[in-house]
């Protein structure tokens, strides 16, 4: 069960700098790729063998340009609802402002561990100034400098020590874990109700995890798996406004705890930035993907041409990863909902598929021979041997060659596409590693 640590505080105290420091300097797996709107606000941090997800709530709020108290309060509230530990960032140089006091007031009433982080203590002389932050009543302020990194290691020690003990999930057998994710109103609940409602073959709800994300064991039509609940289904958010904003943060846990994500799109709305946010979370966590276009019953023209243009549009928006199944369904009329489960199961099986080394070399080496990697400064790059790594969470292939550092991303994508053309890895990400032979 992934732990979530949230960063809160008023604007300009250095929340993003701290976020980048904690994720970036520790070789976090955050790619700052353009094209995904609020990507930079979610990352994984690994420290002393423990891993947690870090969220910079500031980046998720819609009008971040305006210093609206209610906007900041919203961030704090979502952090309180969803996070296991809250980092309350304040600025040593500016001291306490009214907004800080207001945030502190909300945090004092919440029952989550809060660490007061006094940022911008760029040299030691500034540390005594942090004493005024004791007045928040939230314990010892922790002086750091996000910009030069001083004391951030100690801060990470403290965070890891404060994280709740991970409860072990009691999952009986190795079954696929499927999460249904998507924007509010895309039809997640309807789909899950359609799965569950037909007859009551649901065996058990397995809690034993920190907060409300629950595995529901599902056994029907010869399919056997766990449905990972996106917390929003059982627990109606206390907050009615800003569902959009909560939905992504809600999805984080469900995505991290699943093997395959079913991303629900609304046929009447197309792909919106929120869908892209959720897609990028699925990608970052290297999970299997099935895209479902829901509410297909509302589309009048269902000709092959329309289906093709929909499919094209979706693949273009989600490129470069395009090898995933797209289903047109209706949760209301139950059209093709069984197909969703069958496809998710296939994607799950593709994750553990093995290609025999001999086959791999026999097919791929001639292709590489015909389209070798571009030469670098007159040096030719030769790929001699390929093998698939032992089963991990994602199929991973190693290409051994003489100059691995000169094989660039476009060529890696070419190799990945050739593998996909020859073997069925639909819906699952693939890792391509280039190593020195």
For 99-114, write each residue's pLDDT tens digit. Answer: 889 889 989 988 889 9
Place of tokens 């639909």: 426
pLDDT band, very low/low/confident/very high, at 407 (cuts 50, 70, 90): confident
pLDDT band, very low/low/confident/very high, at 383 (cuts 50, 70, 90): confident
Stated as kind and residue range, the H or E segment containing 5 is: strand 3-8
Higher-confidence residue of 115 and 64: namely 115
pLDDT band, very low/low/confident/very high, at 26 (cuts 50, 70, 90): very low
Q: What are the CA-CA distances from residue 82 to residues 1, 2, 217, 228 (Å)?
A: 13, 12, 24, 16
Angstrom distance (rounded) from CA 307 to CA 298: 14
Angstrom distance (rounded) from CA 137 to CA 141: 10
HSE of 104 in the Cβ direction (CA atoms, 13 Å)? 18
Return the DSSP state at 333.
T
Give the list of residues 6+ apart from residue 47 with CB closer than 8 angstroms, or none: 26, 156, 157, 159, 160
pLDDT of residue 242: 56
Omega within 30 of 0 (cis) for the link into 211: no
Helix/strand/coil for 199: coil
Place of tokens 């004092």: 108
Beta strands 205-206 and 177-182 are unpaired
Neighbours of 268 (CB within 10 A): 11
Mind giving me the DSSP string for 136-184?
GSSS-EEE--TTT-TTHHHHHHHHHHHSPPPPPP---S---EEEEEEST
pLDDT band, very low/low/confident/very high, at 244 (cuts 50, 70, 90): low
For 119-167, write each residue's pLDDT tens digit. Answer: 988 888 888 888 999 999 999 999 999 888 889 999 999 999 998 876 6
Six-digit token pair at 44? 């994984």
């Amino acid at each position: 069960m992934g732990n979530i640590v949230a960063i809160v505080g008023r604007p300009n105290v250095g929340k993003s700098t701290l976020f980048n420091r904690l994720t970036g300097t520790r070789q976090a797996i955050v790619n700052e790729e353009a094209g995904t709107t609020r990507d930079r606000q979610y990352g994984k941090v690994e420290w002393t063998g423990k891993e947690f997800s870090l969220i910079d709530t500031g980046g998720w709020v819609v009008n971040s340009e305006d210093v609206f108290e209610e906007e900041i309060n919203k961030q704090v509230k979502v952090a309180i609802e969803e996070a296991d530990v809250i980092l309350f960032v304040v600025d040593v140089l500016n001291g306490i402002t009214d907004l800080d006091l207001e945030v502190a007031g909300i945090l004092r009433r919440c029952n989550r561990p809060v660490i007061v982080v006094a940022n911008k203590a760029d040299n030691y002389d500034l540390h005594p100034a942090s004493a005024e932050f004791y007045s928040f009543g939230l314990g010892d302020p922790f002086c750091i400098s996000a910009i030069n990194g001083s004391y951030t290691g100690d801060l990470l020690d403290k965070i890891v020590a404060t994280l709740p003990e991970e409860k072990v999930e009691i999952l009986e057998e190795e079954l696929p874990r499927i999460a249904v994710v998507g924007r509010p109103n895309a039809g997640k609940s309807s789909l899950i109700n359609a799965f569950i409602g037909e007859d009551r073959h649901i065996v058990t709800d397995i809690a034993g995890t920190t907060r409300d994300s629950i595995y529901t064991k599902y056994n029907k039509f010869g399919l056997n798996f766990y449905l990972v609940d996106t917390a929003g289904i059982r627990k109606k958010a206390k907050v009615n406004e800003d569902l959009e904003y909560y939905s992504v943060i809600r999805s984080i846990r469900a995505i991290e705890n699943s093997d395959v994500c079913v991303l629900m799109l609304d046929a009447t709305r197309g792909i919106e930035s929120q869908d892209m946010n959720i897609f990028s979370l699925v990608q970052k966590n290297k999970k299997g993907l099935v895209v479902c276009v829901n509410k297909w019953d509302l589309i009048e023209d269902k000709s092959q041409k329309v289906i093709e243009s929909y499919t094209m549009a979706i693949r273009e928006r989600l490129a470069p990863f395009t090898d995933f199944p797209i289903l047109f369904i209706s949760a209301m009329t139950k059209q093709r909902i069984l197909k969703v489960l069958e496809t998710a199961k296939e994607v799950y099986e593709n994750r553990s598929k093995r290609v025999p080394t001999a086959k791999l070399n026999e097919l791929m080496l001639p292709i590489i021979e015909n389209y070798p990697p571009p030469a670098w400064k007159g040096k030719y790059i030769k790929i001699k041997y390929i093998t698939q790594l032992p089963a991990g969470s994602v199929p991973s292939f190693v290409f051994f060659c003489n100059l691995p550092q000169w094989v660039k991303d476009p060529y890696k994508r070419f190799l990945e596409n050739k593998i996909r053309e020859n073997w069925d890895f639909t819906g699952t990400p693939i890792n391509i590693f280039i190593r020195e032979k």
